[in-house]
Amino acid sequence: MEQLWEEFTVGGLCGLCGNTGMVDTKSVSPAGFPCGINAPCICPNGRALKRHREKDMVVEPSKKTPAGLQRFWASWNETAQDYRPLTSPPNPAILGWWCSGEAGDGSYSTMCAWVEAKDEDAAMAAVKQDWPPARKMDWRFFEERAPDWTPGDRFPLSDWSKERIK
């Protein structure tokens, strides 16, 4: 697999996904039929993303935290040059946030956030509070997670984040 992927590298970047880890070829055929995929790439970032997702797919939907809230794992492509949230730390619903990469041409950064809220709409609103939609938020995924789920070693927790999840 690695040899195959190396054939698609251009200037140190994956020529399939631009180092985002995701290949998105979704479109509509000339005949008007949906076609294409949105799936992990064969590059190291895509394989890591796929392993991470497969590990986390066993989730009991709507299982709540002791406070009666749900937890979500979100990712989006942030087009603002300064990808940081408006406040530091961000609003209390954000348990942690990370920039996990950027496009080869610098047109966007790939962001991730761990969010705790009463439901998905409230969680999305919490993210948009610190990363306003005026910055053109392009969701990659927004998935519910079990209350005891953590983002893993690739996403180290900041001190403020550790305080929030106690």
pLDDT in tens, 44-61: 777 777 776 665 554 444
How far is the C-alpha of 155 from the C-alpha of 158, rounded, in Å?
9
| Predicted structure pTM score | 0.63
Distances (CA, A) of 58 to 88, 110, 148, 149, 160: 32, 24, 12, 10, 28
What CATH number was assigned to the domain covering residues 70-164? 3.30.70
Structure tokens at 38: 């949105």
What beta strand segments (E) does the chain contain? 9-10, 13-14, 22-24, 27-28, 34-35, 38-40, 70-78, 94-102, 109-117, 138-145
Q: How many CA atoms lie within 13 A of 14 on its CB side?
A: 23
| Of 17, 11, 63, 72, the residue nearest 39 (C-alpha) | 17
Structure tokens at 5: 């992927």
Give residue limits of the domains in the chain: 2-56, 70-164
Reported as a pLDDT band with limits 50, 70 and 90, residue 157 is very high
Statement: residue 106 has pLDDT above 70: yes
